[in-house]
A and B are shown apart, each in its own frame.
Chain A
Amino acid sequence: MQKYIYLISIIYFGLLVGCNPDLDYSIKGYTQKIIVEGVIESGKYPVVYLSLNVPLSKSVDTTTILDYVIRYAKVTVSNGDKTEILTSKWDKSYFPPYVYKGTEIIGEEGRTYDLKVEYGGYTLYSSTTIPAGFQVESVGMNQTAVDSLRTLTVKINLNDNVKNSYRIQTWKRKDTRFIKTPVLFNDGLNLSGIQTFQISPYPAKTDSSFTEGKYFVVGDTVDIKISAIDSVSTLFFKDLNMFSLVSGNIAVTEVKPLHSNISEPGFGIWYGAAIRMERVIIK
Chain B
Amino acid sequence: MRHILFALAAMFVTLVTYAQQTYHILKDTTDSNSIILKVQQIKEIDVRSSYPLSKIKSGSSGISVDVNELKKLPNLLGDSDPFKALQYMGGISQAGEASANMNVRGGDNDQNVILLNGCPVESPTHILGLFSIFNPDLIDQMRYFKSGIPSEYGGRLSSVIDIKNNVQAPVNTEIAGNLGVLASRISLKTSLNKDLAVYAALRMSYLGTVVIPMLVRLGINPRLAQNNFEFYDTNFGFNYKLSSATRLSGHFYAGDDKLEVSCNDKFVIEDNASRWGNRVGGVQLSHVFTPVFSMIHNLNVSNFYTTSNLNWLNTPYNVNSERTTFNYKSDFMLVADNHNLKTGLDITVANLLPFAFNKETNDTLNSRLKYNQFTDIALYFRDEWEKGPVLINAGIRAAVHLKHPDRPFSTSMALNELMVTEKLYTAIEPRFFSRWLLDEASSVKVSASKHFQFSNRVQLINLGLPVEIFVSASEQVKPSSLWHFSGGYFRSLCDNKWEFSVEAYYKSFANLLEYGGKLNDLMIEDNIEKLLYRGRAYAYGSEFMLRKNYGKFTGWFNYTLGWNFRQFDDINNGMPYLATNDRRHDMSLIGIYQINDKLSLSVAYVYATGSRLNLPRSWYIVDGNVVLEYSKHNSFVMPDYHRLDLSLVYKLPVWNKLNSELNISIYNVYNRANPFMVYYNTVAEGGNFDYKIKMHYLTPILPSLSWTFRF
Interface residues of A (CB under 8 A from B): 6, 9-10, 12-25, 27-30, 33, 35, 37, 51-57, 59-62, 65, 95-96, 180, 182, 187-188, 200, 202, 205-206, 213-214, 237, 239-258, 267-269
Chain B: interface residue count, which band?
Answer: 35 or more
Inter-chain contact A243/B620, CB cutoff 8 Å: no
Inter-chain contact A19/B697, CB cutoff 8 Å: yes
Give B679-692 as 1s and 0s: 1 = Cβ < 8 Å from A's Cβ atoms: 11110011111111
Inter-chain contact B677/A30, CB cutoff 8 Å: no
Given contacts A28-B635, A241-B520, contact A59 B690 (CB under 8 A): yes
Q: Smallest distance from the beta carbon of B179 to chain A beta carbons, Å? A: 15
Given contacts A15-B702, A56-B692, contact A23 B678 (CB under 8 A): yes
Q: Could you list 27 examples of A-B contacts with CB < 8 Å?
A: A10-B220, A13-B215, A18-B676, A23-B695, A25-B615, A28-B636, A35-B621, A37-B623, A52-B620, A57-B693, A59-B692, A65-B689, A180-B623, A188-B524, A200-B313, A213-B314, A243-B627, A244-B627, A247-B625, A249-B679, A249-B680, A250-B615, A250-B680, A251-B677, A253-B459, A255-B570, A257-B629
- Stretch of B13-21, B159-167, B460-468, B656-664 lying at the A interface: B460-468
- Which B residues touch A9, using CB under 8 A? 214-215, 218
Inter-chain contact B617/A30, CB cutoff 8 Å: yes
- Which A residues touch B220, using CB under 8 A? 10, 13-14
- Which B residues touch A53, using CB under 8 A? 618-620, 629
Inter-chain contact B628/A18, CB cutoff 8 Å: no
Inter-chain contact A30/B459, CB cutoff 8 Å: no
Bound: A29/B685 CA distance, A:
28
- Stretch of B188-196, B252-260, B511-519 lying at the A interface: B511-519
- Which A residues touch B524, using CB under 8 A? 187-188
Report if B226 contacts A (CB, 8 A).
Answer: no
- Which A residues touch B519, using CB under 8 A? 242, 245-246, 252
Q: Smallest distance from the beta carbon of B235 to chain A beta carbons, Å? A: 28
Residue in contact with B625 in the complex, picked from A55, A62, A244, A248, CB distance below 8 Å:
A244
Residue in contact with A51 in the complex, picked from B214, B620, B687, CB distance below 8 Å:
B620
Main secondary structure on chain A at its contact with chain B? Answer: loop
Bound: A240/B685 CA distance, A:
19
Q: Which residue of A lies closest to B631 (CB)?
A: A28
Report if B52 contacts A (CB, 8 A).
Answer: no
Bound: A258/B617 CA distance, A:
15
Inter-chain contact A25/B620, CB cutoff 8 Å: no
Residue in contact with A214 in the complex, picked from B314, B629, B686, B697, CB distance below 8 Å:
B314
Inter-chain contact A35/B215, CB cutoff 8 Å: no
User: Which among B463, B628, B635, B681 has the highest number of chain A CB atoms within 10 Å?
Assistant: B628
- Which B residues touch A248, using CB under 8 A? 265-268, 679-680, 682
- Given contact pairs A16-B698, A30-B617, A255-B633, a sample of 18 additional A-B residue pairs in the complex whose CB atoms are under 8 Å apart: A6-B214, A12-B181, A16-B699, A16-B702, A22-B692, A28-B632, A33-B618, A51-B620, A95-B621, A240-B622, A240-B623, A243-B626, A244-B625, A248-B680, A249-B267, A251-B463, A251-B679, A252-B460
- Which A residues touch B632, using CB under 8 A? 28-29
Report if B616 contacts A (CB, 8 A).
Answer: yes
Inter-chain contact B518/A20, CB cutoff 8 Å: no
User: Which among A15, A206, A268 has the highest number of chain B CB atoms within 10 Å?
Assistant: A15
Report if B338 contacts A (CB, 8 A).
Answer: no
Bound: A257/B691 CA distance, A:
19
Report if B91 contacts A (CB, 8 A).
Answer: no
Inter-chain contact B626/A20, CB cutoff 8 Å: no
Report if B51 contacts A (CB, 8 A).
Answer: no
Q: Smallest distance from the beta carbon of B262 to chain A beta carbons, Å? A: 15
Q: Smallest distance from the beta carbon of A148 to chain B beta carbons, Å? A: 17
Residue in contact with B626 in the complex, picked from A22, A57, A247, CB distance below 8 Å:
A247
Q: Smallest distance from the beta carbon of B15 to chain A beta carbons, Å? A: 56
Report if B410 contacts A (CB, 8 A).
Answer: no
Given contacts A96-B621, A254-B614, contact A242 B520 (CB under 8 A): yes
Inter-chain contact B629/A33, CB cutoff 8 Å: yes
Bound: A213/B211 CA distance, A:
37
Bound: A280/B624 CA distance, A:
26
- Which B residues touch A95, using CB under 8 A? 621, 624, 687
Interface residues of B (CB under 8 A from A): 181, 211, 214-215, 218, 220-221, 224, 265-268, 313-314, 459-463, 514-516, 518-520, 524, 533, 570-571, 613-633, 635-636, 639, 673, 675-682, 685-703
Given contacts A248-B680, A250-B615, contact A255 B514 (CB under 8 A): yes
Inter-chain contact A10/B689, CB cutoff 8 Å: no
Residue in contact with B313 in the complex, picked from A28, A202, A242, CB distance below 8 Å:
A202
- Which A residues touch B703, using CB under 8 A? 12
Q: Smallest distance from the beta carbon of B572 to chain A beta carbons, Å? A: 8
Bound: A269/B625 CA distance, A:
13
- Which A residues touch B619, using CB under 8 A? 53-54, 56
Q: Which residue of A lies closest to B517 (CB)?
A: A256
- Which B residues touch A246, using CB under 8 A? 267, 518-519
Q: Smallest distance from the beta carbon of A96 to chain B beta carbons, Å? A: 7
Bound: A9/B215 CA distance, A:
8
Bound: A72/B477 CA distance, A:
51
Inter-chain contact B622/A35, CB cutoff 8 Å: yes
Bound: A34/B266 CA distance, A:
28
Inter-chain contact B623/A249, CB cutoff 8 Å: no
Q: Smallest distance from the beta carbon of A129 to chain B beta carbons, Å? A: 19
Q: Smallest distance from the beta carbon of A10 to chain B beta carbons, Å? A: 6
Q: Which residue of B lies closest to A49 (CB)?
A: B622
Inter-chain contact B266/A21, CB cutoff 8 Å: no
Inter-chain contact A56/B621, CB cutoff 8 Å: no
- Which B residues touch A28, using CB under 8 A? 615, 617, 631-632, 635-636
Inter-chain contact B620/A251, CB cutoff 8 Å: no
User: Which among A13, A20, A37, A242 has the highest number of chain B CB atoms within 10 Å?
Assistant: A13
Residue in contact with A15 in the complex, picked from B461, B462, B613, B701, CB distance below 8 Å:
B701
Inter-chain contact B639/A29, CB cutoff 8 Å: no
- Which A residues touch B616, using CB under 8 A? 56
- Which B residues touch A18, using CB under 8 A? 676, 696-698, 700
Bound: A245/B315 CA distance, A:
14
Q: Smallest distance from the beta carbon of B322 to chain A beta carbons, Å? A: 22
- Which B residues touch A54, using CB under 8 A? 618-620, 689, 691
- Which B residues touch A213, using CB under 8 A? 314
Q: Smallest distance from the beta carbon of B643 to chain A beta carbons, Å? A: 15
Inter-chain contact B462/A251, CB cutoff 8 Å: yes
Q: Which residue of A lies closest to B568 (CB)?
A: A255
Q: Smallest distance from the beta carbon of B467 to chain A beta carbons, Å? A: 8
Inter-chain contact B696/A255, CB cutoff 8 Å: no
- Which B residues touch A268, using CB under 8 A? 622
In the A-B complex, the 10 residue pairs with the closest CB atoms: A248-B266, A62-B687, A244-B625, A53-B618, A251-B462, A53-B620, A242-B518, A35-B620, A59-B690, A251-B461
Q: Smallest distance from the beta carbon of B316 to chain A beta carbons, Å? A: 14
Inter-chain contact A253/B514, CB cutoff 8 Å: yes
- Which A residues touch B211, using CB under 8 A? 13
Bound: A213/B314 CA distance, A:
9
Inter-chain contact B686/A62, CB cutoff 8 Å: yes
User: Which among B635, B678, B693 has the highest number of chain A CB atoms within 10 Å?
Assistant: B693
- Which A residues touch B617, using CB under 8 A? 27-30, 55-56
- Which A residues touch B698, using CB under 8 A? 16, 18
Inter-chain contact A253/B614, CB cutoff 8 Å: yes
- Which A residues touch B459, using CB under 8 A? 253
Bound: A265/B617 CA distance, A:
16
Q: Which residue of A lies closest to B676 (CB)?
A: A18
Inter-chain contact B518/A239, CB cutoff 8 Å: yes
